[in-house]
């Protein structure tokens, strides 16, 4: 129905919407709620998509009624958008309508008429421990970026970092003597995460060798690109996928898969769910609980494969 341009490097407050309330809303998300640029970009895209649809109904984001909004959500379902996508769009709409209410534009009656679809909770993809070891061992020893790539893979698995968290990690966030890092997560929430011996050794090796060669000018960031610039999320995803393919992992493997592995392997090893929640930086423990289902699914699969009456 509507297509989006590549906006990876776009200012999240730079919307094509001419509606002043949209710009005010995005500024509110940045200044009052402290959302990350990636989250604000997601809200912006969702509102721009809804605005495109409403324009065809001679309505705007501000004067649309509950029927217009329900028709928009029905159109998303007709387009066979995933239930999670529809739920995310609805959450954005609700948040925007609440913002309008705070600005003196009544929207409670509209919000009361908007029902969320039952969310689908597909289990996250998780690699086995042997597969993770293969992935971490995939970088070519002869490559000038060998130490950096090993350190990145070790850190993603040892700390369960989001892609943006690893890219934003600063030298001042590292405490390798203690074996812990400070992470600034979603909503600017800070957490301390242990990194373990293997990751500590890999990062130490990278800092003492490869990073000194990559740094063309002083940078506070831990991980740099081959040109000495900030390593961005897109190149990080490409790095992980490339090494996954090189070691024979044919299914899609990206940085978030290693975050899933971190959580699932901790829980299967006996870690407390609340501890894993803290380490992941989840504000709601129900988000963390999905990893308990992953472990149960793995155990069922093993039972079916190896039990004589499976």
List of residues 6+ apart from 89 with CB closer than 8 A: 46, 49, 50, 73, 76, 81
Domain that holds residue 184: 129-306
Residue 9 belongs to a domain: no
Q: Answer yes or no: are the C-beta atoms of 280 and 162 closer than 8 Å.
A: no
Residue 259 belongs to a domain: yes
Q: Can you tell me the distance from the alpha carbon of 304 to that of 178, in angstroms, rounded to the nearest whole number?
A: 43
Residue 4 belongs to a domain: no
Question: Is 305 or 168 the better-scoring residue by pLDDT?
Answer: 168
pLDDT > 70? residue 293? no
* Domain end residue (candidates: 87, 112, 137): 112
**Distances from the Cα of 242 to the Cαs of 135, 220, 235, 300, in angstroms?**
10, 27, 10, 31
Total number of domains constituting the chain: 2
* Domain end residue (candidates: 112, 142, 177): 112
Residue 6 belongs to a domain: no
Annotated active-site residue 28? The verdict is no
Annotated active-site residue 186? The verdict is yes
CATH code, 25: 1.10.150.130
Q: Where are the beta strands (DSSP E) in the chain?
A: 174-175, 180-184, 190-194
- The average pLDDT across 283-304 equals 69
Q: Answer yes or no: are the C-beta atoms of 25 and 33 closer than 8 Å.
A: no
Please tell me the total number of residues recorded for the chain in this structure.
310
pLDDT band at 84 (very low <50, low <70, confident <90, very high): confident
Whether 207 and 86 map to the same domain: the answer is: no
**Distances from the Cα of 132 to the Cαs of 44, 240, 246, in angstroms?**
36, 11, 13
Residue 187 has what pLDDT? 81
Whether 99 and 159 map to the same domain: the answer is: no
pLDDT band at 82 (very low <50, low <70, confident <90, very high): confident
- Sign for the pseudo-dihedral over CA of 252, 9, 191, 211: positive
**Catalytic residue, candidates 28, 72, 157, 291:** 291
**Catalytic residue, candidates 10, 94, 186, 191:** 186
Annotated active-site residue 298? The verdict is no
Whether 243 and 134 map to the same domain: the answer is: yes
Long-range contacts of 32-35 (CB under 8 A, 24+ apart): 33/187, 34/187, 34/188, 35/186, 35/187
Residue 188 belongs to a domain: yes
pLDDT > 90? residue 102? yes
- The average pLDDT across 45-58 equals 95
**Catalytic residue, candidates 10, 111, 134, 282:** 282
pLDDT band at 285 (very low <50, low <70, confident <90, very high): confident
* Domain end residue (candidates: 80, 112, 144): 112
Helix (H, G, I), strand (E, B) or coil at 310: coil
Single pTM value for the model:
0.63
Beta bridge partners of 180: 175, 194
In this structure, the dihedral spanned by the alpha carbons of residues 152, 156, 159 and 165, taken in order and rounded to 10 degrees, is 90
Whether 294 and 167 map to the same domain: the answer is: yes
pLDDT band at 3 (very low <50, low <70, confident <90, very high): very low
Whether 168 and 105 map to the same domain: the answer is: no
Question: Is 284 or 166 the better-scoring residue by pLDDT?
Answer: 166
Whether 292 and 213 map to the same domain: the answer is: yes
Residue 3 belongs to a domain: no
Question: For 125-136, how does the pLDDT look when each residue is reduced to its tens digit (9 = 90+)?
Answer: 889 999 999 999
CATH code, 277: 1.10.443.10
Q: Which residue has the tokens 């387009």?
A: 79
Residue 255 has what pLDDT? 95
Whether 193 and 92 map to the same domain: the answer is: no
Annotated active-site residue 259? The verdict is yes
Whether 155 and 24 map to the same domain: the answer is: no
pLDDT > 80? residue 61? yes
Residue 123 has what pLDDT? 67
Residue 219 belongs to a domain: yes
**Catalytic residue, candidates 148, 254, 259, 265:** 259
Average pLDDT, the chain: 88
Whether 102 and 64 map to the same domain: the answer is: yes
Residue 87 has what pLDDT? 87
Residue 7 has what pLDDT? 53
Residue 4 has what pLDDT? 43
Is 122 buried (19+), middle (13-18) or exposed (0-12) by CB count in 10 A?
A: exposed
In the chain, % of residues over pLDDT 90: 70
Q: Can you tell me the distance from the alpha carbon of 72 to that of 90, in angstroms, rounded to the nearest whole number?
A: 10
Annotated active-site residue 23? The verdict is no
pLDDT band at 145 (very low <50, low <70, confident <90, very high): very high
Annotated active-site residue 118? The verdict is no
Whether 100 and 160 map to the same domain: the answer is: no
**Catalytic residue, candidates 45, 59, 162, 211:** 162
Residue 74 belongs to a domain: yes
Whether 81 and 164 map to the same domain: the answer is: no
Whether 87 and 190 map to the same domain: the answer is: no
Q: Which region, left, alpha or beta, applies to residue 100 given φ > 0 means left and ψ of -120 to 50 means alpha?
A: alpha
Residue 299 has what pLDDT? 52
């Amino acid at each position: 129905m509507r297509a989006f341009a590549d906006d990876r490097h776009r200012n999240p407050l730079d919307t094509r919407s001419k509606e002043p309330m949209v710009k005010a809303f995005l500024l509110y998300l940045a200044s009052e709620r402290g959302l990350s640029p990636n989250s604000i970009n997601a809200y912006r895209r969702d509102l721009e998509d809804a605005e495109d649809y409403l324009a065809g109904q001679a309505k705007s984001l501000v004067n649309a009624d509950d029927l217009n909004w329900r028709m928009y959500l029905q159109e998303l379902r007709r387009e066979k958008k995933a239930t999670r996508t529809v739920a995310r769009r609805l959450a954005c709409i609700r948040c925007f309508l609440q913002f309008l209410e705070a600005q003196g534009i009544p929207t409670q009656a509209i919000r009361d008429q908007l029902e969320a679809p039952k969310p689908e909770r597909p289990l996250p993809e998780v690699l086995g421990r042997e597969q993770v070891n293969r992935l971490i061992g995939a970088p070519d020893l002869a490559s000038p970026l060998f130490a950096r790539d090993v350190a990145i893979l070790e850190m993603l698995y040892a700390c369960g970092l989001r892609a943006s968290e690893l890219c934003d990690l600063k030298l001042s966030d590292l405490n390798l003597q203690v074996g812990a890092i400070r992470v600034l997560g979603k909503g600017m929430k800070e957490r301390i995460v242990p990194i373990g011996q293997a990751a500590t050794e890999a990062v130490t090796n990278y800092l003492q060798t490869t990073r000194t060669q990559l740094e063309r000018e002083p940078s506070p960031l831990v991980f740099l690109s081959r040109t000495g610039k900030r390593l961005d999320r897109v190149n990080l995803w490409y790095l992980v996928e490339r090494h996954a393919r090189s070691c024979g992992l044919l299914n899609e493997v990206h940085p978030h898969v290693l975050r899933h592995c971190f959580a699932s392997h901790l829980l299967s090893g006996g870690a407390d769910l609340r501890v894993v929640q803290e380490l992941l930086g989840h504000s709601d423990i129900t988000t963390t609980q999905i990893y308990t289902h992953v472990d149960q699914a793995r155990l069922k699969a093993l039972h079916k494969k190896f039990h004589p009456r499976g």
